Structure formats: C-alpha cells, structure tokens
Amino acid sequence: MAAKRGGIMKNVCVKMMMCLVIVAMCVGQGIAKEPLQPLTIQLNWMPTVQFAGILLAKERGLYEEAGIDLTVRPWKEGVIPVEEVISGKAQVGIAEGDDLIKIRTEGKPVRAIAVQFQKSPMCLVSKKEQGVVKPEHLVGKKIGYSDPAALVMVKLILASAGFKYENVRTVEVQWDLQPLLRGEVEVRTAFLNEEPLILKEMGYEATYIPGFKYGYDFYSGAYFSTDTMIHNHPEFIQKFLDVTLQGWKESFRDPAATAKLVVGKYYPEGSVSQQTESLKVFKFLATIGIGENLIGYMERPFWQKGIDILYKFKQIDRKIAAEDVFTSEFLKAKSLEK
C-alpha cells in the first residue's frame, strides 16, 4: 500500500515538474504572450511634439503592454489622412475639427473618437512694431497665407469685430517667415506653437491674435476612424485611446524631456528648446476649460457650433447632425472619472 502511494506521489511530482518546464519554456520563448494586434495611425503633419502623447507612449512600450503593435505614419506630400483610413492603409487618422466636419458632410464614413486639443493653434502673427493685437487692427493690412483653408480663419476674425474680408488684402506666400520679416506682408497666418516661438528664438518681438478667441473655434487634432472600425472593433479602439491619452498626460509632466525624445528619435531637424515651448502651448490647448483628467474630451454642442459656423460661411453646403461627426462612447468612462 505504501509502495503504491509512493508511486502515485512520484507520478504526480513528475507531471508537475513537466508542466513547470513547459510553462518556463513558453514564457522564455514568448509563446505564452498573446500576439500583438497591428494598428497604423496616419498623422496629418510631421512627427513633432504635436503628437507627443502618441510618440512618448510608443517609446515607453505602453501600446505593446496593451497588446497593440503601433505603426506611426508621418504626413508627407500627397498623403490625405482620411483616404488612408478609408482605404484600410491606416485604422486611425488625425484631422482638424473643421476638416472632419467637411469630410463627413461629403458623405465619407468616418467619425471622431477623441481630440488632442480643445482649441485650434491657428492664429495671425505679426512683428510687434505693427501694433496688431486685436481684429480691428487688421483693417487695411496685407495678410500673407500659405494654405487657402486658413482664409476662413481670417474671415471669422474680421467678422467678430464687424469687418469684412474686403477690409484687408491677402497674398499667398511661402511657409517660411521671410515675407513677414522683409515687410512684404504685415501679418501672416500661423500656429501658436510654431511661428511666434520661432520669431522669439530669432530675436524678434511678435504679437498674435488667436483664432479661437475671435470666432475660429474648432477642436484640433481629432482622432478618427471609420464607422465600420468603430462598430466592429470597439474594444481595440478603447485600448488605443486609453494608452494614447495616458501618453499625453505623461508627456505634459516633463515637456523638456519629451521634446528631447521626440527630436532625438522622430524630428531631428527640430530644435529641442522650440519643441519644449511648443509642447507647453499644446498642453494649454489640450486642457483649457477641462483640466488634465479630461484630455481627449468632446461634446455635442461644440461640434454643432462648428457645423453652424462652416455653414454660415459657406464652407459646407448643408448642415449635418453633430452625432454624424463624432462618438463619445470611448470617453464616457473618462467623463465619470472627473
């Protein structure tokens, strides 16, 4: 009897040891881990601190921890983010709020799932000597622009003070600041995180008029996906957003370190000091009115306001429901955490 019990115990021990060996081998070879799910995000600009939350989270392995194999595709000439997403080359894209409204009005099946910034960084910048600090100071000025889409902002800023587009002169210029510095234009369209900071680094005193303060009030850096992706893979999108929004919070804690990482790994032509200051601007735009706990937040009335603005200024030919442009299903839990 004792011999029988001893044999049984020996067999049990042998089987347990075999199980432990198998588990150890699997872990050592990575077999025990679930395979990562690939996801590609198409940026709408170069990989600067404008996308710090994504880039920092990727470098720290946060996406991998969530089971995501993230590929970041920077913008380049000829790339249209919405077309990349609709075609399936990317699963998530980034677009400006007003652009996304126009895209949805055209019938393209994409919706916003979160936003990077509560306000747009678009502005009008000039040298301090011009004395342009309010919309009424623009009257009679020559305004340079690089992107025709920015002229909508000019019209809205003027309209906020009761003036018309015809009260200024506009001229198309290159992306650089030379036309402004040479005096060929007195004002130019710009971004709060870019041109005012560059002018400061160059030793010029500058003034700027933020678009969002004077009528050009849209979400910026909207993450979007197709209706099909949102419907069929909600848990996957939720994982992506959870990690991304956490990445933004972490990037804001140490702007200098984040800027150094981004310039060193993704944007070597950039200046660490300028990118650091740029990230501080983005923190302001991401948290204004909501705080850090609700980064990514969107609401229906604000989207509807944007739709109404674009319709009034003839940028879209019909109004659509705000629910057609965005979904808040992935942000509900975040709202409850406030």
Position 34 scores a pLDDT of: 86
- Planar angle of CA 121, 190, 207, nearest 5 degrees: 95
Give the residue extent of every domain in the chain.
37-119+218-336, 122-214
Which pLDDT value is given to residue 71?
98
Q: Has domain 37-119+218-336 been given CATH number 3.40.190.10? A: yes
Q: How far apart are the first and last CA of the chain?
A: 67
pLDDT, residue 54, reads 98
Encode the chain (338 residues) as per-residue pLDDT tens digits: 434 334 434 443 334 444 443 434 444 444 447 899 999 999 999 999 999 999 999 999 999 999 999 999 999 999 999 999 999 999 999 999 999 999 999 999 999 999 999 999 999 999 999 999 999 999 999 999 999 999 999 999 999 999 999 999 999 999 999 999 999 999 999 999 999 999 999 999 999 999 999 999 999 999 999 999 999 999 999 999 999 999 999 999 999 999 999 999 999 999 999 999 999 999 999 999 999 999 999 999 999 999 999 999 999 999 999 999 999 999 975 544 44
Whole-number pLDDT of residue 39: 98
Question: CB of 164 within 8 A of CB of 208?
Answer: no
Between vectors from CA 287 to CA 285 and to CA 293, what angle results, nearest 5°?
155
Q: Pairing mode, if any, of strands 122-127 and 187-191? A: antiparallel
Residue 9's pLDDT is 40
Identify the CA nearest to 329 among candidates 194, 238, 246, 251: 238
**pTM above threshold 0.85:** yes
Q: What is the dotted CATH code of the domain comprising 122-214?
A: 3.40.190.10
Is 37-119+218-336's fold the same as 122-214's? yes
Residue 206: per-residue pLDDT: 98
CA distance 33 to 67: 9
